[in-house]
Structure 1
Amino acid sequence: MIAIEHKAHCVLATVAGEFTLADYREFEENVLYELRFHGKPNLLLDLTEMLGYTLDVVWEEIRFTREHATDFGCIAIVTTDQWTTWATWLARLFVESEVQVFENGRQAEAWLLENTPVPG
């Protein structure tokens, strides 16, 4: 299950339980909406309540990230899982964004808001 919020040119997504392909596609739609109407969005993925993910999510994430490698602002990943942290650092090779891993969602959101470009 995924919950998504738009805030100050950021897409904030929280995953609980199993992260499915339908969840990831909902995330993609929200990111593309923000990109189309407001420019490069900052992204926050809170994975602290994620129990697992399906293999098709991995392939879709690779495809989407490669297709949009220059389309994101900063990316914050919230997790306490070492494997997820390792995978996040590996994924940095495919995007031209600053990526940070946090253990606390409030700190991650504050970092993104600090790095949100001011319109004008």
Structure 2
Amino acid sequence: MINTDHEGSIVSVAVFGEFTLADYHEFEELVRYKLKFEGPVSLFFDLRQMASFTLDVAWEEIRFSRQHAHDFRRIAVLTGSQWVSWTAWLSQLFVEADVRVFEEEAEARAWLAEIQ
């Protein structure tokens, strides 16, 4: 399950439990809307409560990232998991955005706000 929100040019996503393809499509829809009407966005992913994700989500993330490689300014990933940190680093291969992993939410949000 996910919770999405947006303020200015920042799209926020919090994942709870399993991250499914339906959840990812909800995220994609919001991002496409913001890109169409407002241009490039920054992303904030709170993955501290994510238990797992499905393989089709991983594939869709690669596809979506490649399709929108130039549409993201910054991507902040909030997690305490070394595995999620590694996958966030790997995603930098597909986008031109600056991707950083944080353990503290305030620090991640401050970093995103620097370019607002």
Q: Same fold (TM over 0.5)?
A: yes
State the one-letter code of the partner of 1:33.
Y
Query: After the TM superposition, which residues 16-95 of structure 1 pair with which residues of structure 2 at under 5 Å, given as runs?
Result: 16-95=16-95
Contact 1:10 1:44 (C-alpha < 8 Å) held by counterparts: yes
CA drift of 1:106 comes to 2.0
For 2:105 and 2:22, the matched residues in 1 are separated by 23
Contact 1:45 1:78 (C-alpha < 8 Å) held by counterparts: yes
Alignment RMSD (CA, Å) = 0.8
For 1:104 and 1:16, the matched residues in 2 are separated by 17
Q: Work out the percentage of aligned pairs sharing the same amino acid.
A: 53
Q: Write 1 or 2 for the structure with the bigger share of strand.
A: 2
Equivalent position SS for 1:96: coil
Matched residue count: 116
Describe the superposition over 1:31-77 as per-residue Cα deviations: whole angstroms up to 9, x where unpaired. 11111111101101110000000110001001000111111111101
User: Normalising to structure 2: TM-score of the pair?
Assistant: 0.97
Unaligned runs of 5+ in 1: none
Equivalent position SS for 2:107: helix
